[in-house]
Structure 1
Amino acid sequence: MNNSALDEFQQRVTREGAGPALEFLIDQLRREERFHELFEALKMQLRHRMQLPIQGNESSDALDPAIRDQYENGLIEVCRDVGMELFRAGRFREGWMYLRPVGDRQAVIAVLDQCTPTDDRIDEIIEVCLHEGVDPPRGFRLMLDKYGTCNTITTFESHQAALDLSTRQCVASILVRHLYDELVANIQGHIERQEGLVPAQSSLGELLQGRPWLTAEGNYHIDVSHLGAVVRFAEILDAPNELRRALELSQYGETLDESLRYPGEEPFRDNYGAHRLYYEALLDISREPALEFFQERALFVDPHYDSTLAVEVYVDLCVRCGRGDEAFRFALEHLPPGTHTRGIAPPLVELARATKQTAALAQLYRDRDDLFGFAMTLLLGQSDETS
């Protein structure tokens, strides 16, 4: 701040008092983008307007409750003001320090929509969006653009447990589309080199038809570890167009040399073949054989000694294919109360309520002499009947 500004501030204090002088100070700091000092000046203005000492050291808890609420709400608005200014200036990490207590994710997202991230600031946006949970899909998109598929897949795998289903679906969709488009482009290039013409087909399934040589002799067109991970991530998707991409990625995986088809965990030991059946079931393509396959795999394992994954996948697949009664029956037998699961299949009580079979579940709790489970199920059943 130059000497003329200092003189102007002093004159305003003398002529007009602290209020107008603080307005001048705030305008000056805002123009000069001295945002941390702006925060302190706005706090001083808030205290002055509330007739509190301009420089206060007391805790807000010491204030009268009515004044305390007004003061704390005012501080939130001060944080919002400074945080948004920092975001608009491209200083995202600093801005988030002020915006975190505001808790208005949508406002932050709206400001991010108007920002064009520069290379030296992308890491800050990724940190705020992903690691601070403001907008994880945006964070993953930026990570994919800057750091590539491998880092993004690794980060997604480590963050999945902290993300809700909707967010996980969004990120899985981003990865499926990205890998699918990259694979299509690579295969089109291979076909052009082999056949001398750019292929007319644009979908992966069409490109593969009649061209077994594409993956002969151990050929592949994408990192196979990325392919396996993305095919697995796609299990949670619902949109038919995304499921079709996942199906075609699985079909491509099936054409790879056996040494490149890494096995998964039951029921996806044959990773690509089983996932093809999984997506065919969801898309209602040869649904019955697919469901039979997953039922067989679920019966093959013992959830008391092996993983419950195969049983949970079959139960969840039945639900998603409109076979709720079968899902409840199978879960009641193979995932009884007390079974430690991975949370893939809906809870037993949820299945019972959805299929109006709470009485059967209540009887199971009675047979097990489980008072709490019996009471909960009985009361939920009565509540469902009266609602």
Structure 2
Amino acid sequence: MSADAFAALEELQQQSPKAVLDRLVETLTTQKNYHRLFDALLMQKKLALGTSLLQPTSFDNVAEGQKKEFEEAYIDAARQVGNLFLADKKYSDAWLYFQTIQEPEPVAEALKKINPRTVHEDKVEELIQVCVYEGANPEKGFEIMLQVNGICNTITVFDQMNAQLKPEERQQVACLLVDQLYADLVQSLQYQVQQKVPMAPPTDNLRELMAGRDWMFESGSYHIDVSHLNSVVRFARLLPDDDPHLSKVIELCEYGSRLDSQFQYPGETPFEDFYPAHMHFFKALVGDENDQKMGVAYFESKLDQEPDEDDKQMIAYALIDLLTRVGQDDRAIELAEKYLSQFEDPNTFSFTDLCLKTDHLDVLLRVARGKGDLVTFAGALLDAQAQSQTQES
């Protein structure tokens, strides 16, 4: 800052403290020194409150009766400075202020407008950091990551971050990965078809590209990184039941099922037979009544035949997920009571949550009584009473 700026403040001191701070705010705004502007704005408020101006962001020297008023000024200043940073596209700095006052929406909306294809390379890491790791807009962060760093890196980070994301954020990222992998695989198959059958009619449909072309898979041929295929199909179980991407996922499973056995990596129970098992799962969600019956029967058969109790729980977990998504709540609760009634993890499975969502507080009461859980029993008892009174009225 120039010597003239200091001299100007000294001159204004003779006029009034308010004039000094007004000039300070004006100077810092012109210089775009927004972090210090935040301090100056709070100094203005402390001057009005008649308290010490040093340590302007601290609440320690604010009288108890004035803290509410100072808190409102703090929020207004953070909002003002955050918007100035957003105007300059300094998203990380803006996030610092909006996150502090628990108003993430302005930054999330601003980030949403970014075109990943136009992001300058020196901004990539900053945007990924604020979007993904700090949670400002995970979908946009993964979109940028996918565009710049590729699908391999994106899959790795998504696997690591999965538990920290909200369900809707996981679904958004899963959609991005399905679209990218599907497009990459279609492009690869299109090239092979053009090389072998130059006059073949063009299509961007994976199933049509594979139809009647067993030669594509001869001698252990594959056309996409098979580990990426495995991961994206696994992520697709996060998608909601009515998501249009599921039709693409089924086609990806059909492709995976035609690969040489050495490239069909087994999954965790009950998805050891990875692609056929996933096809049963996804077709049960989006197919007709017969597909639904076959899908449920597939996993029920696995459950019946599994001798290991731990593996039975894993199969039951997948089957219960499927049953609730196809509207078979009674059967889902029956299995949950038998195999998963002790699980209360909000990130994986909560028996209490399932009972609430499926309106089976009677089952929760029975299980709580059997476990000697007075707290859960009392909660279920009173919630059931409240529901009954609401229905009667």
Same fold (TM over 0.5): yes
Structure 2 Cα separation of the partners of residues 58 and 88 of structure 1: 23
Equivalent residues of 1:130, 1:136 under 8 A apart: yes
Q: 2:297 corresponds to which residue?
A: 292
Q: 1:28 corresponds to which residue?
A: 27
Equivalent residues of 2:94, 2:107 under 8 A apart: no
TM-score (norm. length: structure 1): 0.89
Aligned-residue offset at 1:270: 0.7
Structure 2 Cα separation of the partners of residues 279 and 244 of structure 1: 8
Mapped pair 1:332 → 2:323: no
Q: 2:383 corresponds to which residue?
A: 380
The one-letter amino acid of 2:253's match is S
Structure 2 Cα separation of the partners of residues 206 and 135 of structure 1: 36
Aligned-residue offset at 1:118: 2.4
Mapped pair 1:247 → 2:250: yes
Change (3 A) 1:67 1:180: same
- 1:176 pairs, out of 178, 181, 198, with 178
Aligned-residue offset at 1:74: 1.5
Superposed CA deviations along residues 67-97 of structure 1, whole A, max 9, x for unmatched, are 1222232223223333333343343334433
Superposed CA deviations along residues 277-309 of structure 1, whole A, max 9, x for unmatched, are 111000124221111001111223356343622
Q: 2:152 corresponds to which residue?
A: 150
Q: Which deviates the most, 227-236 or 325-334?
A: 325-334
Structure 1 Cα separation of the partners of residues 345 and 279 of structure 2: 24
Q: Which deviates the most, 166-175 or 359-368?
A: 359-368
Superposed CA deviations along residues 91-139 of structure 1, whole A, max 9, x for unmatched, are 3334433333122100112333456742211211111111111111111
Structure 2 Cα separation of the partners of residues 72 and 368 of structure 1: 47
Q: How many residues are aligned here? A: 384
Change (3 A) 1:114 1:242: closer
Q: Which deviates the most, 286-295 or 81-90?
A: 81-90
Mapped pair 1:273 → 2:272: no
Instruction: Please state whether the residue corresponding to 2:311 is helix, strand or coil.
Output: coil
Change (3 A) 1:127 1:360: closer
The one-letter amino acid of 2:332's match is A
Instruction: Please state whether the residue corresponding to 2:269 is helix, strand or coil.
Output: coil
Structure 1 Cα separation of the partners of residues 336 and 245 of structure 2: 28
User: Identity of counterpart residues, as a percentage?
Assistant: 31
- 1:189 pairs, out of 191, 194, 214, with 191
Aligned-residue offset at 1:13: 4.3
Aligned-residue offset at 1:12: 4.3
Q: 2:161 corresponds to which residue?
A: 159
Give 4+ residue runs of structure 1 displaced > 6 Å after superposition: none
The one-letter amino acid of 2:321's match is D
The one-letter amino acid of 2:126's match is E
Superposed CA deviations along residues 229-254 of structure 1, whole A, max 9, x for unmatched, are 01000002123311111111111111
Aligned-residue offset at 1:376: 3.8
How large is the RMSD of aligned CA atoms in angstroms? 2.7
Mapped pair 1:319 → 2:324: yes
Q: 2:124 corresponds to which residue?
A: 122
Superposed CA deviations along residues 133-179 of structure 1, whole A, max 9, x for unmatched, are 11111111111112111111111111111112111111111111111
Equivalent residues of 1:366, 1:374 under 8 A apart: yes
Equivalent residues of 2:111, 2:140 under 8 A apart: no
Change (3 A) 1:8 1:344: closer
Q: Which deviates the most, 41-50 or 276-285?
A: 41-50
Equivalent residues of 2:38, 2:78 under 8 A apart: yes
Aligned-residue offset at 1:2: 4.4
Q: 1:75 corresponds to which residue?
A: 74
Structure 2 Cα separation of the partners of residues 74 and 309 of structure 1: 52
